[in-house]
Amino acid sequence: MEISATRPAGTPVSQELPAIIQQIGNTPLIRLESPNPDVEIFTKAEWLNPGGSVKDRAALSIIMEAISSGRLEGKELIDASSGNTAIAYAMICAALRIPLTICIPENASRERLQMLRAYGANLVLTDRMEGTDGAIEVATEMAMDPKYFYADQYNNDANWMAHYTTTASEILEQTRGRITHFISGLGTSGTFVGTSRRLREEIPDISTISFQPSSPFHGIEGLKHMETAIVPGIYDPSLADSHIMVNTNSAFETTRDLARNHGLFVGTSSGAAYFASKVVAESIEKGVIVTIFPDRGERYLSEPVWRGK
């Protein structure tokens, strides 16, 4: 049975929204090479979202829920981010003419900071040594000012609901229900939590597998080492049947391999996702694995993964 590699008909976005926002979601599945001939590996090509990452889905869900509830009316949106959600917010807020302030670590890649400024976002650069957790603390304090609406992506149910209603539905349609293993990394955990919840409802015996960096000091952008980080309120560890730790070198090597030998220029979290998928493929007899490639590689050109390479 063939599996769709084109954009499926997904949940429509309101026709009243700007055209660029209507392009969010319905990303294709791309088949990847598998170390096991009896295991198929596919990835959701989330870098094809208009903002360049999977975070377009969560950002849109958070903003639309805030608009519909009236909580954003007359206010400026503020949140903390390591980069991708910030860019997604910036794109959507620019299209909807909503003022935006982003708290982001000062060592975020030059490319991401330039993109945010291009979209017109106000940036508050936080201590690089405190990472995203430090940005969260600054955003939480600033959000006490009533002029702000605090989006709080790490604790906002609209984050994981975006994937429950769209990402999982697309995967079910594209694989025609044949998926046996779902693999996703942990950052805010929204992608893993929302997608896994819906997939489990439809396919009770599916294996849902999460992965994270193997060390608190790592270079895999967008992912959290949960044992040493502020754990997102939306994270539900009970959804993971198993868990894989990925070291930075493996993620970097796989990211470079994807670009040079597969023509897929993606970020380091995508490299980690493919690495984890191959680990699983080698450990099972047969199956259909679907993972997520969160973003494209251009926003990391100044990062260590490409430095001197």
Digit-coded pLDDT (tens) for 234-259: 999 999 999 999 999 999 999 999 99
CA distance 58 to 81: 12
pLDDT at 82 over 90: no
Task: Provide the pLDDT for residue 16.
Answer: 82
- What does the pLDDT look like over 145-181, one tens digit per residue? 999 999 999 999 999 999 999 999 999 999 999 999 9
Local confidence band at 220 (pLDDT 50, 70, 90 cut-offs): very high
Mean pLDDT of 49-62: 98
pLDDT at 14 over 60: no
Cross-strand partners of 210: 184, 243
Domains of the chain plus CATH, in order, are: 21-53+160-300 (3.40.50.1100), 55-150 (3.40.50.1100)
pLDDT at 210 over 80: yes
Task: Provide the pLDDT for residue 308.
Answer: 75
CA distance 130 to 143: 19
Task: Provide the pLDDT for residue 5.
Answer: 35
- What does the pLDDT look like over 28-51, one tens digit per residue? 999 999 999 999 999 999 999 999
Task: Provide the pLDDT for residue 307.
Answer: 87
CA distance 205 to 16: 39
Local confidence band at 9 (pLDDT 50, 70, 90 cut-offs): very low
| 9: its two tokens | 């008909």
Task: Provide the pLDDT for residue 109.
Answer: 87
In the chain, the percentage of residues whose pLDDT exceeds 70 is 95
Asked whether 142 and 78 are in contact (CB, 8 A), the reply is: yes
Task: Provide the pLDDT for residue 15.
Answer: 53
| 127: its two tokens | 């201590």
Q: What's the mean pLDDT when you consider all of the chain?
A: 93
Task: Provide the pLDDT for residue 138.
Answer: 97
pLDDT at 113 over 70: yes
In the chain, the percentage of residues whose pLDDT exceeds 90 is 88
CA distance 170 to 49: 14
CA distance 157 to 255: 31
More confident residue, 44 or 309: 44
Task: Provide the pLDDT for residue 4.
Answer: 33
pLDDT at 1 over 80: no
Residues serving a catalytic function are 55, 269
Task: Provide the pLDDT for residue 297.
Answer: 95
- What does the pLDDT look like over 284-294, one tens digit per residue? 999 999 999 99
More confident residue, 230 or 168: 168
Hey, what amino acid is at 160?
Answer: W
Local confidence band at 309 (pLDDT 50, 70, 90 cut-offs): confident
Mean pLDDT of 120-146: 95
Out of 5-9, 12-16, 60-64, 257-261, least confident range: 5-9
pLDDT at 6 over 70: no
**Per-residue CA distances from 269 to 16, 257, 291, 292 (Å):** 34, 13, 11, 9
